[in-house]
Amino acid sequence: MTTVPNKLSNRELVSYFGYGVGQCFSFGLVGSFILYFYTDILGISPIAASTIFLIARVWDAVNDPIIAGYMDTLDSRFGKFRPYMLFTPFLIVLVTIAAFYNMDADTSTKVMYAGITYILWGTLYTISDVPFWSMSAVMTDEPQERAKAATCAMLGVNAGIGATMVIFPKLSAFFAEGRIDQGYLPAVAVLMVIGLGFMLNGFWNTKERISTQSCEKVTLKDTFAAVRKNKPLFFILAAFFMNVFFNMVNGLYVFFFTYNMGDAGLVSLIGTITLASAIACLATPVLTKRFKKRDIFIALCVMEVIARVGFYFSGYDSATSVMIWLGVITTIFMMTNPLISAMIADTVEYSYYHSGKRTAAITFSGQTFTGKLSVAVAGGITGFVLTYIATCRMPRKALARWMVCSSVSHCCLHWVPWRVSPSCRSTLLPKMSMPNCVRNSVVVSLQKG
């Protein structure tokens, strides 16, 4: 393994941030609005939508590691991961627009179309997202610089999702007049074209500095072995999966504000809160200089539990009170995400330490798959929840209870894997030969969390 100077410039970090923004315009649209589009615009049942989500994740479980393993075997003049950041943005734009097309057909055809476009979106998103996150492991091998890159990436992700929740409702309302689809299709098209510019700029202004040309080819067997043997990665992804409850709440926002609080426009305020709270990600590199990543993560989860319990007892009669509580909760939550990504980047070195192979794509495909799995499981559960709520005598109160229960479950379970992960720390430095630069990187990473 060879390196060139590993200091990341501000321009590169901003461009890397921008790719995350553009890509997460798509993720934000699908994660926050696709269920509402399916049920209230396209006209398919919540159960059908839930089934689509679950089938898509079964497919992801098969294709994600295969795609990641294939990526780890390739190289080009642009590097190992950057080429995907050049052509996949165009595909992501097209499939996202197609997913929000309100076709005039019978119900079974609509369900089939929704299923095909959603599964295709998930596959293409993997091909874009895995290289994006893997870049943080090959842009530099310095732990602190990796933390900066991971922070910028996660800040971009949060900013992209937050901007979508702010801009899209207003944009769709602007195009809504005279349209059966409530302006969704043209609003999606405009937002995704803007996102395309962000993503292409991210490609041109980022560099791969860690050479992996000497690595052996990675087989599918190596893919599963790398995930199975990497216990720290397992615990990190287990904690990350607990975002399923947070994603359930995100999926219910549009219904909650529309039917419980009587103002769908409040969804835009959630986006504004998300954007403002994303700035909290900048505190992560500062905190990781003084404290272990794992300890910071647990402390933040405890704080989030306290905030969400406070939100529960305050009720939702006052919109101002709701937004204040959501602002506090979202700020705390935003600070946990860069820690997840930074620790996943550290496990790339751990995997190399054990196997002698740098499987960055495989490692980060775990994050991509877990993120999509949590969104899909949340969407599937939400579909069943909405079906159940429709049968309740007091549907508004039932919806509010589900919102609160999901929120508290999220923050309580988010940190549970970390209560058992310390036992893995003794396995992180086995006695085997490896380059000194990698050994030093692993040691420093472990000292930081």
pLDDT value at position 112? 96
At residue 20, does pLDDT exceed 90? yes
Interval 119-151: pLDDT, tens: 999 889 988 888 888 887 788 777 778 778 878
- At residue 226 the predicted structure's pLDDT band, cuts being 50, 70 and 90, is low
pLDDT value at position 124? 92
pLDDT value at position 17? 93
> Mean pLDDT over all residues of the chain?
76
pLDDT value at position 426? 39
Q: Token pair of 154, please? A: 């996660």
pLDDT value at position 116? 95
At residue 441, does pLDDT exceed 50? no
In the chain the domains, ranked by start, together with CATH numbers, are: 10-209+228-447 (1.20.1250.20)
At residue 200, does pLDDT exceed 90? yes
Q: Token pair of 345, please? A: 């980047």
C-beta of residue 192 within 8 angstroms of C-beta of residue 96 = yes
Distance CA 409, CA 387 (A): 21
Distance CA 172, CA 180 (A): 12
DSSP string, 314-363: H-SS-HHHHHHHHHHHHHHHHHHHHHHHHHHHHHHHHHHHHHS---HHHH
Interval 246-267: pLDDT, tens: 777 776 777 777 776 777 677 7
C-beta of residue 236 within 8 angstroms of C-beta of residue 418 = no
C-beta of residue 18 within 8 angstroms of C-beta of residue 202 = yes
Q: Which of 306, 307, 301 is nearest to 340 (CA)?
A: 301
End-to-end alpha carbon distance in the chain: 24
- At residue 296 the predicted structure's pLDDT band, cuts being 50, 70 and 90, is confident
| 287-to-281, 297, 339 alpha-carbon distances in Å | 10, 11, 10
Q: How many CA atoms lie within 13 A of 131 on its CB side?
A: 30
Distance CA 316, CA 330 (A): 17
At residue 188, does pLDDT exceed 50? yes
What's the predicted TM-score (pTM) here?
A: 0.67
At residue 430, does pLDDT exceed 50? no
Sequence-separated contacts (24+) of 367-371 with Cβ below 8 Å: 367/133, 367/237, 367/240, 367/340, 367/341, 368/64, 368/125, 368/126, 368/129, 368/130, 368/133, 369/60, 369/61, 369/64, 369/65, 369/126, 370/237, 370/240, 370/241, 371/129, 371/240, 371/243
pLDDT value at position 119? 93
Among 59-68, 104-113, 264-273, 279-288, the range scoring the smallest mean pLDDT is 59-68
Q: Which of 167, 217, 216, 174 is nearest to 193 (CA)?
A: 167
Which of the two residues, 433 and 94, has the higher pLDDT score?
A: 94
Q: Give the type of residue at 238.
A: A
Question: Stretch 183-208: mean pLDDT, rounded?
Answer: 94
Which one-letter DSSP state was computed for residue 427? G
At residue 344, does pLDDT exceed 80? no
- Phi/psi-derived region of residue 401, left when phi > 0, alpha when psi is between -120 and 50, beta in every other case: alpha
Share of the chain above pLDDT 90, in %: 21
pLDDT value at position 443? 35
| Distant-in-sequence, close-in-space partners of 369: CB < 8 Å, separation ≥ 6 | 60, 61, 64, 65, 126
